[in-house]
Structure 1
Amino acid sequence: MLLLSIAISALAVGLISLTLIIAFKNKHTSDVADVHQKLKECAEQVHILRSEAAELRTGLLSIGKRVLEVEQQNQDLLQQQSAQKYDDPDAKIYSRAVKMVELGADLDEVIRECELPRAEAELLFSLHKKKGA
């Protein structure tokens, strides 16, 4: 009888251990499935973020090219403007007249040296006074 009760006790302990092992295995399987699902979601998010980063990079490259084109156009316009300034003989006369006014020449001297009409020379003096004021 003692042997039978030890055998029943051992069987009960075995059943309880087996139940606990099955419960832990089910819990572990559930945890693994959750982690696997989260990993799958993270992989999808990484794929989306990589696509968005590629789109941003493409957009930035396009903007960079456009900025370079605009800078080149600006340089071209500055060069054209500078060339026109030196090509126009009247501009040289007016530049010289303005420089003389800035240096303190009087009206008659500007008229004589730059061969400007009196009205134009007076206009230069008037504009120069407004800038200096």
Structure 2
Amino acid sequence: MLLLSIAISALAVGLISLALIIALKNKHTAEIDAISQQLKESSEQTHILRSEVSELRTGLLSIGKRVLEVEQQNQDLIQQQAAQKYDDPDAKIYSRAVKMVELGAELDEVIRECELPRAEAELLFSLHKQKGA
């Protein structure tokens, strides 16, 4: 009888242990499933983020190219303006007249040499006096 009660006790302990093992296995399986789901979601999110970064990179490269083009156009315009400044015959006449005024030429001499109307020559003289004052 003692042997039978030991056997029953051993069987009960075995069944309880088996139940605990099954419960732990189910718990671990649920945890593994949850972690697998998180891994899948993280992988999908990583894929989405990589494609967004790629799109941003492409957009930035396009913007960078456009900025370089605009800067080049700006430099071309600056050069064209500078060239026009020296190609304008009227600008040369006025530059010469201003130089003559700065060197102390008389009003009539500036009018005659630069073929400027009297009013314009007087204006140049007036402006030169204001700068000198």
In structure 2, what is the equivalent of residue 72 of structure 1? Answer: 72
Runs of at least 5 residues in structure 2 that lack an aligned partner in the other structure: none
Distance in 2 (CA, whole Å) between partners of 1:73 and 1:24 is 72
Residues 89 and 20 of structure 1: CA distance in aligned 2, closer, same or farther (over 3 Å): same
SS at match of 1:42: helix
Q: Is the 8 A contact 2:85 2:91 kept in 1?
A: yes
Q: Is the 8 A contact 1:111 1:121 kept in 2?
A: yes
In structure 2, what is the equivalent of residue 2 of structure 1? Answer: 2
Residues 14 and 126 of structure 1: CA distance in aligned 2, closer, same or farther (over 3 Å): farther
Q: How does 1:1-133 map to 2 (within 5 A)?
A: 1-97=1-97, 108=107, 111=110, 115=114, 116-124=116-124
SS at match of 2:70: helix
- Matched residue type, 1:91: A
Percent identical among aligned pairs is: 76
Q: Which runs of 4+ in 1 moved over 2 A?
A: 92-101, 103-118, 121-131
Give TM-score scaled by structure 1 length: 0.81
- Matched residue type, 1:15: L
Distance in 1 (CA, whole Å) between partners of 2:8 and 2:63 is 81
C-alpha RMSD over aligned residues: 2.9
Q: Is the 8 A contact 2:111 2:118 kept in 1?
A: no
Distance in 1 (CA, whole Å) between partners of 2:130 and 2:45 is 65
Distance in 2 (CA, whole Å) between partners of 1:84 and 1:11 is 108
Distance in 2 (CA, whole Å) between partners of 1:87 and 1:12 is 111
Superposed displacement of residue 62, structure 1: 0.5
Cα deviations by residue, 1:64-115 (Å, 9 ceiling, x for unpaired) = 11011101111111111111111112213334555677x6968838935972
Q: Is the 8 A contact 2:98 2:124 kept in 1?
A: yes
